Amino acid sequence: MAACLSGTRTLVAILIWWRVHAMARREQLASLLRRAGGTTAILAARARLRLPVLSILTYHHVCDPGPDYRFDPDVADVTPAQFRRHMELVKRHFTAIGVDELLAGLDGARLPPNPCLVTFDDGYRSNLDVALPVLRDLGLRAVFFIATSFVTERRVYWWDRIAYVVAASDRPRLELTYPRPMTVELGDRAAARAALVAVIKDERGLELERYLTEVAAAAGVAWTREVERRLADELIMTWDEIRQLRDAGMDIESHSRGHRVLQTLDDDGLRDELDGARADLAREVGRPPRVIAYPVGRTIAPYPKVRAAVAAAGYRCGLTNASGVVPLWKKLDHLDVGRLALDRTITDDMFLAQLAIPQLGYQRQ
């Protein structure tokens, strides 16, 4: 009892320290918490009490991009070594669940202790080559959300296509006319990527291929279907490879068809992205998806037309990138469920701390 009280006092003191200091020091707090045993104590208590809290982890590309990496380095949100450490921590402190348990939990069923859903967006080949062996080795399950048209058509994801073109250009700036006149300086390549990608994320009614073609032309970079197929084969799984994930016991779900931001689309565009992806997955993996991870991950709450389209397409759950654990004791919109945001800069201490104490996590809306 004395040891328990001492540990509790230590934890309370650390939490008070956190409130007093700026949030910028949360990494230090995460380290202090783990060294004091606070993180483990919280997670152990949650498991014993079977608290209705669900952690959903978001990954994309398992990769350690070097200085010569040709695609978008920001999508490589975990290195292979980090991913193994993350999964070892999940194995130690959580119960990995799948889509059946997710839907049951959202409907009020009691989940196993410290339930955790491991998810991957997009369909990168590293999911099969790097992530699957780790998951198999540790006996963990995961859900893979596939943007289907890129797999079928062997096209490069539009953010990676922009990154490739920006990296390959030898021009000082890009002069664009569509969808409006725009000058993008290439002195800061990361800022240039962000500016070009923002147009796709935010512009309503954008003709995507027209825009991407103009970006490549302005950059002076040759972009042909032959080039794109070769790069897609390097970067993105095939349907046969996705079926290998299915056969390994993993869930395959929807990340839309062309990874278009749903809030920017008209009714026909929404149907193509939502119904089209369901048809693609039913055909290729033998089962229509029940869950969608929204492209770019923005909440659909302020967009009743989008929400209605998701429901009409037959999805029972929709996942956003609004970061934090899922409080199953609350009344939740099953089509607007948050996940935990991750990136390569997060230490292992912070990874575990934000699972134990959501307020410590990096908030992404």
Question: Which CATH number fits the domain that encloses residue 71?
Answer: 3.20.20.370
Does 31 fall in a domain?
Answer: no
Does 6 fall in a domain?
Answer: no
Backbone torsions φ then ψ of 152, nearest 5 degrees: -65, -45
Radius of gyration of the chain (CA): 21
Structural domain that includes position 91: 53-153+236-360
Q: Taking Cα atoms as reference points, which of 210, 232, 66 lies closest to residue 161?
A: 232
Question: Are 263 and 141 in the same domain?
Answer: yes
Q: What is the pLDDT of residue 13?
A: 54
pLDDT-wise least confident of 113-117, 127-131, 298-302:
298-302
Tokens for 80, please give them.
Answer: 């292979």
Rounded mean pLDDT of 141-151? Answer: 98
Rounded mean pLDDT of 130-135? Answer: 98
Question: Are 128 and 248 in the same domain?
Answer: yes
Question: Are 193 and 175 in the same domain?
Answer: yes
Q: What is the pLDDT of residue 357?
A: 82
CA distance 36 to 259: 43
Beta bridge partners of 117: 56
Residue 197 has a CB neighbour count (10 Å cut-off) of 18
Question: Are 257 and 144 in the same domain?
Answer: yes
Question: Are 336 and 351 in the same domain?
Answer: yes
- Domain end residue (candidates: 202, 227, 252): 227
Does 34 fall in a domain?
Answer: no
Question: Are 193 and 331 in the same domain?
Answer: no
Question: Are 140 and 246 in the same domain?
Answer: yes
Q: What is the pLDDT of residue 14?
A: 57
Does 8 fall in a domain?
Answer: no
pLDDT band at 20 (very low <50, low <70, confident <90, very high): very low
- Is the pTM here over 0.85, yes or no? yes
pLDDT band at 361 (very low <50, low <70, confident <90, very high): low
Does 292 fall in a domain?
Answer: yes
Burial (0-12, 13-18, 19+ Cβ within 10 Å), 289: buried
Rounded mean pLDDT of 209-226? Answer: 97
3-state SS string for the chain: CHHHHHHHHHHHHHHHHHHHCCHHHHHHHHHHHHHCCHHHHHHHHHHHHCCCEEEEEEECCECCCCCCCCCCHHHCCECHHHHHHHHHHHHHHCEECCHHHHHHHHCCCCCCCCEEEEEEEECECHHHHHHHHHHHHHCCCCEEEECHHHHHHCCCCHHHHHHHHHHHCCCCEEEECCCCCEEEECCCHHHHHHHHHHHHHHCCCCCHHHHHHHHHHHHCCCCCHHHHHHHHHHHECCHHHHHHHHHCCCEEEECCCCCCCHHHCCHHHHHHHHHHHHHHHHHHHCCCCCEEECHHHCCCCCCHHHHHHHHHCCCCEEEEEEECCEECCCCCCCCCEEEECCCCCCCHHHHHHHHHCHHHCCCCC
Q: Taking Cα atoms as reference points, which of 77, 163, 71 lies closest to residue 127?
A: 77
pLDDT-wise least confident of 9-18, 137-146, 207-216:
9-18
Judged against a pLDDT cut of 70, whether residue 198 lies above it is answered with yes
The number of domains in the chain is 2
- Residue with the bigger pLDDT between 266 and 20: it is 266
Judged against a pLDDT cut of 70, whether residue 362 lies above it is answered with no
Q: What is the pLDDT of residue 5?
A: 43
Question: Are 123 and 204 in the same domain?
Answer: no
Does 219 fall in a domain?
Answer: yes
pLDDT in tens, 296-348: 999 999 999 999 999 999 999 999 988 788 999 989 999 999 999 888 988 99
Q: What angle do CA 306, 308, 313 make, to 5 degrees?
A: 95
Q: What is the pLDDT of residue 252?
A: 98
- Domain end residue (candidates: 195, 227, 259): 227
Q: What is the pLDDT of residue 93?
A: 96
Question: Are 222 and 253 in the same domain?
Answer: no
pLDDT in tens, 53-110: 999 999 999 999 999 999 999 999 999 999 999 999 999 999 999 999 999 999 999 9
Question: Are 149 and 286 in the same domain?
Answer: yes
pLDDT in tens, 156-180: 999 999 999 999 999 999 999 999 9
Question: Are 117 and 264 in the same domain?
Answer: yes
Does 44 fall in a domain?
Answer: no
Give the alpha-carbon dihedral of 319, 320, 321, 326, to 10 degrees. Answer: -60
- Beta carbons of 318 and 291 less than 8 angstroms apart: yes
pLDDT in tens, 258-267: 999 999 999 9
Residue with tokens 């989940």: 111
Question: Are 130 and 167 in the same domain?
Answer: no
Does 276 fall in a domain?
Answer: yes
- Domain end residue (candidates: 185, 200, 227): 227
